[in-house]
Structure formats: structure tokens, C-alpha cells
Structure 1
Amino acid sequence: MSDLTIGILGFVALFGLMIFRMPVAFAMLSVGFFGTWIVDGLRRAGALMMTETYGAVANYSLIVVPMFILLGNVSSEAGFSRGLYDAAYAWVGRFRGGLATASVMGCAAFSAVSGSSVATAVTIGKVALPEMKRLGYGDALSTGSIAAGGTLGFLIPPSTGFVIYAILTEESIGRLFMAGILPGALMMLLFIVAIWVVTLLDPAAGPKGHPVALAERFRTLARALPLLAVIVVSIGGIYLGVFTPVEASGVGAALTVILAFATRAIGTRGFWRAVMDTVRTSAMLYMIVVGANVLNPFLALTNIPEALESTLTALGIGAYGTLLIILLSYLVLGMFLDGLAMLVITVPIYYPVIMALGFDPIWFGVIAVIVIEMGMITPPVGLNVFVVRNVAETVPLSTVFKGVTPFLLAMVLCLLLIILFPEIALVIPNSMFG
């Protein structure tokens, strides 16, 4: 049996284990270890387990994961997310579809402190969905705007997806964070346009809210300013070269904790819950990185990336034809896998192909994250859809999927624009790093 055949069987085993509900980290760990044992012997497999597992968790750059997760969890426990939403609603709520627009804007703002799609959808959903129900919003628009808005957590820095992509490809976390800013802003604007179109066609789906006096608008903005300042200091510090991403994560987390206790917005119990949530989520992400680091050498031994590159080249469909096949494969995988699983499984295979085709790896990182985001709101898995469904318990799942359809079209348009105009993703990192 050839090494390539063993590699293909390893992939079949990997998907089989995940179908039988084995956590993706342990599925990758098992396939990587036993696959290496079969191809190169037990000694190599054992050495791989020792060196790669230690090297993965000892990676200094990974510190950004628990720090930014802590920042988001403390913000959520302290109720700062409510302040972001209230500020957005005060300014845009009086327009048709204003509450849904405020929800998307709140998701975008909270994404800049959480780095997590699911956390963003849950946090803003708990605040916004009861308000939209009270004002008579259609279930499809209200739940769809939250599910789609939550996906911004995977794109707007500090994105966990960008951190994992950077670790797997050894690209710069700072460049990837900066590359996500304009695409994230573009996607937010396209989501708002989608809301405008939906309410134009069906005004009852998103009735106008109550006007808020100018003085009150500024007061709500002032209440949100401390957390907005933390966002500006953390992300702005990276852009200005004051902080590295790791330093920015520590500064942001520290400022948020100090702010939460100084304003008495959080107590000891709330802080403990935030810390324990951070530990659990970080442990899960660290295990995924460990599993990927054990699986990747097995893939290299079996020459799967090279075989894929040769196969795609032999098709003669050109660089963009190959890119289209890769993106379509992400859409298919998104129907069965969550975002991080797709990222850690596919990037080691697709990255060498993308480099051989001459595409910018930072640009591809943005493209990959957007397509993975699309998988978060497409059936049958649609993780964000199920998360929002759990918050809005009385809304049928089919209604939530119907509600995300306009936003899915907006994401497709955003993807096409970034493919046609790569500078949307690259202008900021290129201006910073040369």
C-alpha cells in the first residue's frame, strides 16, 4: 500500500471519527499518531507526540487566544455588550429595520473584543432578540440578523480563526488582524444593506423604532466609550506598532478587567465565571492546535498536498479555477463541520497549493475565513443558526435559515469583491509592514 493511499485512508478515518462524535482535536491526534506509526514506525510517531504537542502549547503567539477570550468574557459578564448595542440603537433605531441594524453594528463592535462567532451571536442575541420581539419584528429578520452578525466575530480582529491560520501557516498574526479590518467593515455594511432591502420589500418585517433625543444618543455613546476605548487601544496599538498582537491582547484584557471592577459592573462570582469560561474555551482551542500539529507531519509524509497540487494543475483550469474548486469544497465541508475544524483540517493541504499558484497567503486567509463564516449559517450544521435558535426558543429552525438567506447573499457579494479587488484585504497590512 502506497503512502498516498494510507494518507487518503487516514482522511476517511478522520471524517469517520468526527461523524461518530469524537472531538475534532482527538480525531486529528489519533489519525496523526497512528498514521505516522504505520508510515514511519512507532519511534517516529512517539517522538512526534512528544515534540509537536509540547511545541504547539509552548508557542508564544498562542497567548493571544486566552487573553482575547478573557477580554470578551469579562465584557459579556460585565454587561458592556449591552452598552454597545444601546449606543448603536440610539443612533439608528429610529429607521426602518433599525433594531436589526443596531444588532449587526453591536455584533461588529463586540467582535472586536471577543474574536468568537458563537460568543458574539449569543451575547448580542440575548440583548437584541427580546427587544425586536417586543417591537414586532419578523422572526426571520430578527434571528437572521443576529446569526449573520455573529459571523463577524470570525473575521473582525482579534479573530480566533486568524490566530489558528497564522499558527498553521507561520504567517504574521498582526498582518492577518489588519487584513480583516476593511473586509469586516465591508461585510457589516453589506449586512445593513441586506436589512434595508428586506424591510423595503416587507416593511412589517422591521418597523421603525422610537426616536431618541440627541442628548440621550450622546449619553448612550458615552456609556459605551470605555469599552470602545479598549478596542481602539488594543487594535490601534497593533496598527501603530506600539504593541505586538500578543502584547495588545494582554493590555486589552487587563484594561477590561480593571474597567469592569472600577465601575463595579462585575463581582467576584461573575469574574470567576469569565475566567472558567476562558479556561474551557482556551483548552479546547489549544487541543485543536495540538491535534493539527500531530496531523500535519502525517500529511507531509503521505504527500497529500503535493498530490492535490498535481491533480489540480493537471485539470488545466488556471489559478482562479483552482481557487473556485477550493472555495466550493469549503462550502461543502461547511455543511458538516464547524469553522475551526474546517480550518485546521484544510489549511495544511490547501496552503501549499495557494502558494504554488502565486496567491498572497494573507489574502487567502481572509478569503478562507469568509467562506468558513458562510458555513456557519448554511444548513444542515449552521452552528450560528442553532445558537440563535437556542436563544429564540419559540422560533422554528426553518425560519432562522430563511432569515439568514439575504445575509448569505451579502457574504457572497463581499467574497466576490475581495477576490476582484484584493487590496480591500491587503492595503492596511501592506501599508503597515511594507
Structure 2
Amino acid sequence: MSPVQVGLVGIACLFALMILRTPVAFAMLLVGFFGTWALEGFRSAGGLLLTESYSAVSGYTLVVVPMFILLGNVSTAAGFSRGLYDAAYAWVGRFRGGLASASVIGCAAFSAVSGSSVATAVTLGKVALPEMRRLGYADSLATGSVAAGGTLGFLIPPSTGFVLYAILTEQSVGRLFMAGILPGLLLMALFMLTVWIVATLFPQTGPRGEALAYRERFRLLGDALPLIGVIVVSIGGIYIGAFTPVEASGVGAALVILLAVATRSLSLASFRDAVLDTLRTSAMLYTIVIGANVLNPFFAVTRIPDALGAGLTALGLGAYGTLLMIILGYVVLGMFMDGLSMLVITIPIVFPIIMQLGFDPIWFGVVAVIVIEMGMITPPVGLNVFVVRGVAEDVPLTTIFRGVAPFLFAMIVGLVIIVAFPSVALLIPNSMFG
């Protein structure tokens, strides 16, 4: 068989392994190892497995993953996430659908701590869903706003998606983090607009909350300020050049631990659980990175990216037509795969094509992450939908999927804006790094 044919067999085996519920990291390891063995012999495959397993996780850059995960886990264990939600509700709760908008704001704020879509959806879901249901919100709007808001955890820095993209494409983590800020705020605004439109058209879905006195609003905002300060110091430190992303992750984790100790809001048992959860999540992500680094050289040898690029060029669609085809491919894959799996499997294939078309790699990182976010709320997989279902067990999946539909449309609008105006993603990184 030709290298391209071997590559296609490898891709088929990869999907077959995942259908059989093999963890994606081990599926990539198996396909990469045996595929390289078939093309270049056992010696090359064994050398690849040994060298890549070490080099993939020994890089200094990857330290940001456990540090930011620890930051988010400690914040959750100490109850700081509740303060973010309460502060948001104090200021926007009096508007129609205000509690759902507060959930979106809370998700955006917590995303700047956790870097994880699932963690954001779980944490804010436990806080916001009982309140919205108590005040008479429709299940569709309540669950839809949390599921959609949770996707911001994959975009707003510190994003684990951006860290993996940077490793796979050898791009700057700092530039990617900064590129995610304005698109993240844009999606947050579009989600809030969506809540307002739904609650206006169907008033029974999102009744107004009580209007709090300004004194109470500022008190709740003050309660959330310490964690907001940690976010500003860690992410803002990257922006002004005081920290590298790795240093910022360490500073943020240290600050939130000191804050939890100073406020006596974290027991030793809770801290231990937060550390253990950080170790489990980090080990999973590190294993995925190892698998991707074994699989990617196999794809390079098969020359599938070149063949795919030549095939798309032959269609004569032009740069943006080809980009549309890639995005549609991501949308289809997003219906059946989780975000991290889709990212690490597809980027090595499509990234060379993106570079050949002359698109900015940082900009495409934002586009890819947003499309992957869309997959988190689309049927039949919709990871965030199932996460929210785990919090609200009595709400049917069909109701949650119906609730996220308007937010999915808002994400499409946001994606179109970012494709049409790349400066939305590139303004901050270009102003910082030149």
C-alpha cells in the first residue's frame, strides 16, 4: 500500500478504536506506533515512542496546564465561584432573563480561572440552576444558558485548548491566550443578547429578579473582588509583559491558595481533593499530548495533509471556500467527538493546509476553538449538554438541546464576525507582540 493508503487505514482504525471506547490518548498511541512500524519499521516506531513520550511532556510550556487547573479547583473548593455568580446576579438580575445573563457572566469570569469548559459548566450549573428553577425560569433557558456559557472555558484564557493547539502547531501560548480575550467577550455579549431576546419573546421563560440596592450590589462585588484580582494579576500580568504564561499560572495558583487560607474557606481535606483532581486531569491531558506527538509524525510520513490540501485546491474553492469546507468538517466531527480529541487529531492534518492558504495561525487557532466549542453543545454528543444533564437530572436531554439552539446560532454569528474581521482576534496579540 502507498503511504496515503496506510494513513487512511490508520484514520479508520483511530475512529474504530474510539467507537470501541478506547481512551483517545491510547488510540492515538496505538495508531501512531503501529502505523510508523508499517511504514518505517519497528526500530523507527520504537524510537519514536521513546523519544516523543519524554519530549512531549518535559517542555516548560506545559506547566501552565496543572497550575491553571489547580487554580480553578481551589477556587471551586473554596466557594469563590459562588461569589462571582452572586456579584453578576446583583447587577443584571433585575432585567428580564437576568439570572440567565448572570450565569453567562459567571461562566465567563470562572473561565478566566479554570480554563476548562466542563469545569465551568459543572461549577456554575451547581450554583445557578437551582436558583433559576426556584425563580420560575424555563428549564430550556436555564440549562441552555449554563451549557452554552460553559463553552467559554475553552476560549477565554487560560484555555487548555489553546495550550494543546500551541504545542501541536509550535505557536506562542501567550499570543493565543491574548487572542482569546476579545472573541470570548464577544461571545459572552452575544449570549447575553440571546438571553434577552428569548426572554423578551417568551416572557415566561425568564422572569425578572428583584432589584437590589446599590449598597448590596457593591457589597457582593466586593466579596468577589479578591478572585477577580487574581484573574487580573495572572492574565493582566501576561498582557503587560510582567509574566510569561507559565509564570502567570504559578502566580495565579499561589495567590488563590493564599486567598483561601487567609479567608479560612478551604479545609485541608478540600485542598487535598483539589490537588488530587488536578493530578488526575493533568495526567489525562499529558497522556493526550504524548499520544498526539506519536500520531503526528505518522501523519507527516503518510503525506495525508499534502494530499488533502491538493484535493481541496483542485476543487477551486479559493482560500475562504476551503476554510468553509474545513469548518463544516469540524462541525460534523463535533457531533460525534469531544473537543480535545477533535483538536489533537485534526490539527496536524488541517494546519499545513491553513498555512498554505496564507491564514494567520493564531487567528485560525481562535476559529478552530470556537468551532470545537460549537460541537460541545450540538447533538448527539454535546459534552456540555450531558454535563448539565448530570446537574439537572430530571430535565430531558431534548429540553436542554432545545435550550442551547439559540446560543448555537449566536456562536455562528460570532464566528462569522471573527472570520470577516480577523482583527477581533489579532488586535491584542499584535499590539503586545508586534
TM value normalised by structure 2: 1.00
**Partner in structure 2 of residue 304 of structure 1:** 304
How far apart are the structure 1 equivalents of 2:430 and 2:139?
A: 42
Structure 1: unaligned runs, 5 residues or longer: none
**Partner in structure 1 of residue 116 of structure 2:** 116
Residue 271 of structure 2 corresponds to residue 266 of structure 1: no
Structure 1 vs Structure 2 CA RMSD: 0.4
Cα displacement string for residues 76-129 of structure 1 (whole angstroms, at most 9, x for unaligned residues): 000000000000000111111010000000000000000000000000000000
**Partner in structure 2 of residue 94 of structure 1:** 94
Residue 235 of structure 2 corresponds to residue 205 of structure 1: no
Partner SS state of residue 286, structure 2: helix
How far apart are the structure 1 equivalents of 2:332 and 2:396?
A: 24
Where do 1:119-268 residues align within 5 Å? Answer: 119-268=119-268
How far apart are the structure 2 equivalents of 1:271 and 1:321?
A: 50
The letter for the 2-side match of 1:163 is V
Where do 1:287-298 residues align within 5 Å? Answer: 287-298=287-298
**Partner in structure 2 of residue 318 of structure 1:** 318
**Partner in structure 2 of residue 84 of structure 1:** 84
Cα displacement string for residues 30-50 of structure 1 (whole angstroms, at most 9, x for unaligned residues): 000000000000000000001
Where do 1:334-349 residues align within 5 Å? Answer: 334-349=334-349
How far apart are the structure 2 equivalents of 1:160 and 1:283?
A: 13
How far apart are the structure 2 equivalents of 1:10 and 1:364?
A: 26
Deviation at 1:276, TM superposition (A): 0.4
How far apart are the structure 2 equivalents of 1:382 and 1:191?
A: 18
The letter for the 2-side match of 1:313 is T
Deviation at 1:328, TM superposition (A): 0.3
The letter for the 2-side match of 1:131 is E
Deviation at 1:211, TM superposition (A): 1.1
How far apart are the structure 1 equivalents of 2:308 and 2:61?
A: 30
**Partner in structure 2 of residue 382 of structure 1:** 382
How far apart are the structure 1 equivalents of 2:235 and 2:303?
A: 39
Deviation at 1:185, TM superposition (A): 0.2
The letter for the 1-side match of 2:326 is I
- Residue identity over aligned pairs, in percent, reads 73
**Partner in structure 1 of residue 55 of structure 2:** 55
Alignment length, in residue pairs? 434
**Partner in structure 1 of residue 283 of structure 2:** 283
The letter for the 1-side match of 2:297 is P
How far apart are the structure 1 equivalents of 2:57 and 2:176?
A: 21
TM value normalised by structure 1: 1.00
Deviation at 1:353, TM superposition (A): 0.2
**Partner in structure 2 of residue 368 of structure 1:** 368
**Partner in structure 1 of residue 31 of structure 2:** 31
Partner SS state of residue 349, structure 1: helix
How far apart are the structure 2 equivalents of 1:16 and 1:112?
A: 36
How far apart are the structure 2 equivalents of 1:92 and 1:4?
A: 55
Cα displacement string for residues 208-265 of structure 1 (whole angstroms, at most 9, x for unaligned residues): 0011110010000000000000000000000000000000000000000110111011
Partner SS state of residue 162, structure 1: helix
Structure 2: unaligned runs, 5 residues or longer: none
Deviation at 1:363, TM superposition (A): 0.3
**Partner in structure 1 of residue 351 of structure 2:** 351
Residue 104 of structure 2 corresponds to residue 104 of structure 1: yes
Partner SS state of residue 112, structure 1: helix
Deviation at 1:59, TM superposition (A): 1.1
Deviation at 1:381, TM superposition (A): 0.2
How far apart are the structure 1 equivalents of 2:393 and 2:51?
A: 46
How far apart are the structure 1 equivalents of 2:393 and 2:336?
A: 23
